[in-house]
A = this chain, B = another copy of it.
Amino acid sequence: MTASGTDDGVHIGVDIGGTKVIAATVAADGEVGPLARRSTPGRRVEVSLVEDALTEAIQEAAGGQPIAAVGIGAAGFVDAAGERVMFAPHLPWRDDPTRSRLEARWQVPVVLDNDANCAARAEIALGAAKDASDVLMVTMGTGIGGAVVLGGTLLRGRNGMAGEFGHMQVVPDGRGCECGGEGCWEQYSSGNALVRYARGRIIQSYAGTTLLEELTGGKPAALTGPMVTEAAHGGDRIALDAFDEVGVWLGVGIANLVAAFDPELVVIGGGVSSAGDLLLDPARAALEQSLVGAKHRVIPPIVRGRFGPESGIVGAATLARTVH
């Protein structure tokens, strides 16, 4: 193994989320190079359009250096062999031999895993879960992803689909989800949920939220997750309420997972986690409130991942280092 940028070439980690592709070189110590971003064209387009975006992103990330290997973390179900994307609610792949086709196209070793599994790999290898053995990883981006580490090993499951926490039903007959279900957890706690909540408020009135009015230019449709985060850090009431809403739902869902897994640590990654305690404090309170037998057990800490929104990239590159 060599650090990024040696004669073997650079290791590139790619994170394919519901709305964007991000690629970057990652050094052996986890240092992430400049981020190359592309929009993902959605789930109703040709697969080749997503792959064109990917190709542009890794070329920009490499910046002309030779590439040793590419690791990809994809927001979808990846088979246990790491060969195929079986299904991805926000992407067009359906039982698709993604890994081998990209390897053939790029002519470098390519490895593939679920994005949340990659995030967990990063936090176990180099981050917030380095000293832990039984860990739940919850990644909050467009939706919710998850990964389970037991005895230091990633749980894959029968179909390679363990850890799909985002599609656990938390509200009977609840909000419709892109997965086809109703009332899925990620409909109430995710980047999308955050924006939906804040947008619902500012559509009624911008009263008391000069920051969001300024950031959106007075157009609620222009609101994005990062705007809500920025406004919340600036003390904006509606933005803070939005984080409280998704944070409480985060904690309620974590309470269910802790009841089932009884882990020692819960790590939150993904883009929304950059809000830090604005998100995690209401989640911690809700966990303590909702967890069965809370007074008779050690409640696992909920911590922010070291790599935040870059955990998928770092973990994918960690995986890439295992093949070249």
Known pairs A160-B262, A165-B260, A172-B252; list 12 more (Cβ under 8 Å): A77-B297, A86-B296, A87-B293, A134-B157, A148-B261, A157-B263, A159-B262, A162-B261, A163-B260, A164-B259, A169-B170, A169-B256
Contact of A77 among B180, B256, B296 (CB under 8 A): B296
Complex Cα–Cα for A177 and B25 (A):
51
Which range contains the number of A residues in contact with the other chain?
35 or more
Given A86-B293, A296-B95, verify A256-B168 contact (CB < 8 Å). yes
Instruction: Mark A146-165 against chain B: 1 for CB-CB distance below 8 A, else 0.
Output: 10101000011111111111
Q: Which residues of A contact B (CB under 8 A)?
A: 77, 86-87, 94-95, 134, 146, 148, 150, 155-165, 167-172, 179-181, 184, 252, 255-257, 259-264, 290, 292-293, 295-298, 300
Complex Cα–Cα for A292 and B157 (A):
14
Complex Cα–Cα for A159 and B261 (A):
10
Say yes or no: A257 contacts B255, CB within 8 Å.
Answer: no
Q: Which residues of B contact A298 (CB under 8 A)?
A: 158-159
User: Most chain-B Cβ atoms within 10 A of its Cβ — which of A168, A181, A252, A264?
Assistant: A168
Say yes or no: B296 contacts A157, CB within 8 Å.
Answer: no
The 6 closest A-B pairs by CB, nearest first: A157-B262, A167-B292, A87-B296, A162-B262, A168-B256, A159-B297
User: Most chain-B Cβ atoms within 10 A of its Cβ — which of A155, A181, A259, A298?
Assistant: A259
Complex Cα–Cα for A155 and B180 (A):
31
Say yes or no: B292 contacts A259, CB within 8 Å.
Answer: no
Complex Cα–Cα for A179 and B255 (A):
13
Say yes or no: B292 contacts A179, CB within 8 Å.
Answer: yes
In whole Å, how far is A201's beta carbon from the nearest beta carbon of chain B? 20
Complex Cα–Cα for A269 and B274 (A):
44
Complex Cα–Cα for A95 and B252 (A):
25
Q: Which residues of B contact A180 (CB under 8 A)?
A: 292
